[in-house]
Amino acid sequence: MKKGLRMVNIFDKLSNKIQDWKSETKGLLEKGSEKVLSQVTVGQAYGGMRGVISLICDTSRVPQDQGLIIRGMPLKDLVNKTPEEIYYLLLTGELPTKEEVEDFSADIKKRKHVPEYIWNVLKAMPKDSHPMTMLDTAILALQKESVFAEEYEKGIRKEDYWKPTLEDSLNLVAKIPAIAAGIYRMRFNKGDIIAQDPNMDWTGDYVHMLGISGNNKDFKDLMRLYLVAHCDHEGGNVSALTTQTINSALSDIYYSLAGGFNGLAGPLHGLANQESLKWILETMEKLGGTPTKEQLVDVVWETLNSGKVIPGYGHAVLRVTDPRFEAFLKFGQKHFPNDPVFKTVDLLYEVVPEELKKISKIKNPWPNVDAASGAMLYHYGLSEFSYYTVVFAVSRSLGLTAQAVVNRAMLNPIIRPKSVTTSYIKDLVS
């Protein structure tokens, strides 16, 4: 794709929206910029800023008693949508009409070619590199394609920053399925990289290029759900906050998303799906199949007593079962209720919360999305755990780039909170 700005519907649509968002925010700041959102205690400053309200994110929110709500719409009402529709919703705040989504999808399809040098970079990496390291490396290597960096160099007006940011976002989002699928095939010796199909949609082409489960319609349906369910989770989680902090320095989308994905690769964030399935399979192996509830209780305590967390359970914000987990559970109950791994996931849901409730320090005993997502992929033959965070990242590219476009449009300043030293706290406390 040639560099340069192209005006398509999504740009026009956003142009109008941005004017409204800006004047709304201006009014709010005039009226209430001194209103207090949060006070920060010493405990919160030492405690990962948990519960401190200090960010604005309009693409989605996560109320602790409801879970993911995208642009005002609960996830459960969006589980039959496509990632293209969801991306449009994240960016504009509206679900697209049939014509709008056709136009938007066609635009994404035109941008999906991955330059040859990306494959050469990936091939040069050590054969045992983590798939997330490969994804981040590929994204950073693509940075030279940034339209924002080029336009900034030329001296683009501040009000127009969002346009090349959107251009970069669409380009990167369009390419990510091919990059991710190529990484899968290279890293796990699956044979040659499978060429893109110019006519396939975002999900279909990803499934096609992974080259597993043939043309299994159910697998495609699962991937569509997976890519919708993981798309965004408000602004304060590690990958979102990192992406937006980097982006606020006017680094382009490639730098920003690669940085955010480095955070997603951590075991307390996006790597937990891999940890969760690993734990389930180890348990099943040890017990010789689908365990009983009594056996699971013992395994839960064995894990806890050895100082480990129960992967897939607990959440920094949520205080109910994650609706994303519920969506996967429903999918499994419909499509493969007798799969032994899925049955174990289902049983764990009956067992784990009751046990975690007995530990008072754990604020949320309920499952998060990672308690089920790995088992879903596993059922269809995607059994390489270390790849799971990459599938998560493919989906999360939607929300993180949408947040970055909105932040650029709103001309949000560089993020720069203030830190203090321990001796400052000593003086304060004494």
Active site residues: 269, 315, 370
CA dihedral sign of residues 134, 140, 144, 147: positive
Exposure on the CB side of residue 247, measured as CA atoms within 13 A:
34
Q: Which of 10, 272, 398, 409 touches ligand COA by CB under 6 A?
A: 272
Residue 315 found at the interface with ligand COA (CB under 6 A): yes
Angle at 172 between CA 76 and CA 148, to 5 degrees: 120
Residue 268 found at the interface with ligand COA (CB under 6 A): yes
For the chain, report the end-to-end CA distance as a whole number of angstroms. 62
By CB under 6 A, the residues from 363 to 422 that bind ligand COA are: 363-364, 368, 370
Residue 249 found at the interface with ligand COA (CB under 6 A): no
By CB under 6 A, the residues from 42 to 61 that bind ligand COA are: 50
Please tell me the count of residues contacting ligand COA according to CB under 6 A: 18
Q: Which of 194, 250, 320, 362 touches ligand COA by CB under 6 A?
A: 362
Residue 426 found at the interface with ligand COA (CB under 6 A): no
Max CA separation in the chain (angstroms): 67
Stretch that binds ligand COA, among 117-125, 151-159, 240-248, 305-313 (CB under 6 A): 305-313
CA nearest neighbour of 270 among 132, 120, 67: 132
Given the complex with ligand COA, which of 181 and 348 has the nearer CB atom? 348
Q: Are 369 and 322 in contact (CB under 8 A)?
A: yes
Given the complex with ligand COA, which of 93 and 312 has the nearer CB atom? 312
Q: Which of 361, 416, 418, 426 touches ligand COA by CB under 6 A?
A: 361
Given the complex with ligand COA, which of 55 and 304 has the nearer CB atom? 304
Least separation in angstroms between CB 258 and ligand COA: 21
Given the complex with ligand COA, which of 314 and 323 has the nearer CB atom? 314
Least separation in angstroms between CB 87 and ligand COA: 22
Stretch that binds ligand COA, among 172-180, 312-320, 401-409, 415-423 (CB under 6 A): 312-320
Question: Which residue has the closest beta carbon to ligand COA?
Answer: 314
Stretch that binds ligand COA, among 55-63, 155-163, 280-288, 308-316 (CB under 6 A): 308-316
Tell me how crowded residue 52 is: count the other CB atoms within 10 A of its CB.
17
Q: Give 73's strand partners.
A: 70
Q: Which of 8, 281, 297, 316 touches ligand COA by CB under 6 A?
A: 316
Q: Which of 67, 93, 311, 374 touches ligand COA by CB under 6 A?
A: 311
- Walk across the sheet containing 69-70 and list its strands: 60-61, 69-70, 73-74
Residues that bind ligand COA (CB under 6 A): 50, 268, 272, 304, 309-316, 361-364, 368, 370
